[in-house]
Amino acid sequence: MKFKRNILITGGAGFIGSHVVRLFVNQYPEYHIINLDKLTYAGNLANLKDIENAANYTFIKADICDFNKIMDIFKQYQIDGVIHLAAESHVDRSIKDPFTFAQTNIMGTLSLLQAAKLTWESLPEKFENKRFYHISTDEVYGALKFDGTLFTEETKYQPHSPYSASKASSDHFVRAFHDTYGMPTIVTNCSNNYGPYQFPEKLIPLFINNIRRGKELPVYGKGENVRDWLYVEDHARAIDIIFHKGKIADTYNIGGFNEWKNIDLIKVIIKTVDRLLGNLEGYSLRLITYVTDRKGHDLRYAIDSNKLKKELGWEPSLQFEEGIEKTVKWYLDNQEWMENVTSGEYLKYYQEMYENK
């Protein structure tokens, strides 16, 4: 079957990637969606069960750092668009193991850029109708004070953690490929996402699961750090709009205008889980445990996404109360998913399935 476009989505078995893959597979039957993922601990094909047999979907287990393989995939599938999400994404892991973050986030991105460049330059039409869209984070901007300021697209890069330093470096490489070779690139920097299928090392799914099991809730420091939360499907919708209508070489910030101090957010999660489990209000507050702060813990992130609203008409569609209710319900209703993830069962299952492919 001949498709109108062949789009490579990297990291599609992860949290945000799986929502992006699902949206594109369902919304664009005329596109071939090629999901390339290494299936690290964070990649779980159970996140895509509902679309795995779709006629316009192909999964490839591969490492973005494997340049030769990436070159083959570009040629074989005649890739004309890339939405690059594959990355090591957890700040705490980057503090313990910065090398893996530099390898995947920097060298992996470079390998994709170089494969796209070499493949597209060898075609008669070259970069025409091509697009390399890199998904990045607001953490590259560093940290804000409690002064009401927001990160804009002009805020200077000042990453603090090994994770954000590696993402900042990959953003610079993407822009360098535009400025040096004329590659049609776009970068977006998004705030904290939440919603279904997030790996339970991240605050929201970890705490929902711990409350359900009556386990301690480890609050870093005094719980005063602030994050700006966006429902993951709203991010996926922004990615769709920007992939199709975003200006080449441009940058867009994506955020929810939804700042929460960690401890206040944690109390909302406790209240919601207790209500849905039929516990007395406040029952799980006893699980809050203040622990040693994260090293170099950024105080506050907050995104100004007005440019995206003004230029491309995107706004978050979900109120936070609605989003958190949906999210808590999803984790409570999908205990099999959670148990497969926390036991490591999913790794054995999918990694064995793809071992010799």
Residues recognised as catalytic? 138-139, 163
Q: Is 192 near ligand DAU (CB under 6 A)?
A: yes
- How many angstroms separate the CA atoms of 254 and 305, rounded? 5
- How many angstroms separate the CA atoms of 253 and 161, rounded? 20
Nearest alpha-carbon partner for 90 in 192, 1, 224, 181:
192
Strand-strand pairing, 31-37 and 57-61:
parallel
- How many angstroms separate the CA atoms of 2 and 31, rounded? 9
Of the pair 137, 185, the CB lying nearest ligand NAD is at 137
In sequence order, which residues have a C-beta less than 8 Å from that of residue 332 and are 6 or more positions away? 208, 212, 273, 276, 277
Q: Is 225 near ligand DAU (CB under 6 A)?
A: yes
Among 21, 25, 85, 91, binds ligand DAU (CB under 6 A): 91
Of the pair 117, 134, the CB lying nearest ligand DAU is at 134
Q: Which does 64 bind (CB under 5 to 8 A by kind): ligand NAD, ligand DAU, none?
A: ligand NAD
Q: Is 85 near ligand DAU (CB under 6 A)?
A: no
Q: What are the tokens at 194?
A: 């939440």
Q: How far is the CB of 127 from ligand DAU (least distance, A)?
A: 28
Of the pair 130, 167, the CB lying nearest ligand NAD is at 167
Q: Is 155 near ligand DAU (CB under 6 A)?
A: no
Count of residues near ligand DAU by CB under 6 A: 19
Q: Is 106 near ligand DAU (CB under 6 A)?
A: no
Q: Is 86 near ligand NAD (CB under 6 A)?
A: yes
Q: Is 137 near ligand DAU (CB under 6 A)?
A: yes
One-letter identity of residue 321 = E
- How many angstroms separate the CA atoms of 102 and 93, rounded? 12
Q: Restricting to residues 227-256, name those near ligand NAD by CB under 6 A.
A: none
Q: How far is the CB of 64 from ligand NAD (least distance, A)?
A: 4
How would you label 45-75 residue by residue, b for 16+ Cβ within 10 Å and e otherwise?
Answer: bbbbeebeeeebbebbbbbbbebebbbebbe
Q: Is 205 near ligand NAD (CB under 6 A)?
A: no
Of the pair 44, 284, the CB lying nearest ligand NAD is at 44
Q: What angle do CA 221, 226, 227 make, to 5 degrees?
A: 120
Query: Which spans of this chain sit near ligand NAD (rule: CB under 6 A)?
Result: 10-11, 13-17, 37-40, 42-43, 63-65, 85-89, 104, 108, 135, 137, 167, 190, 192-193, 199
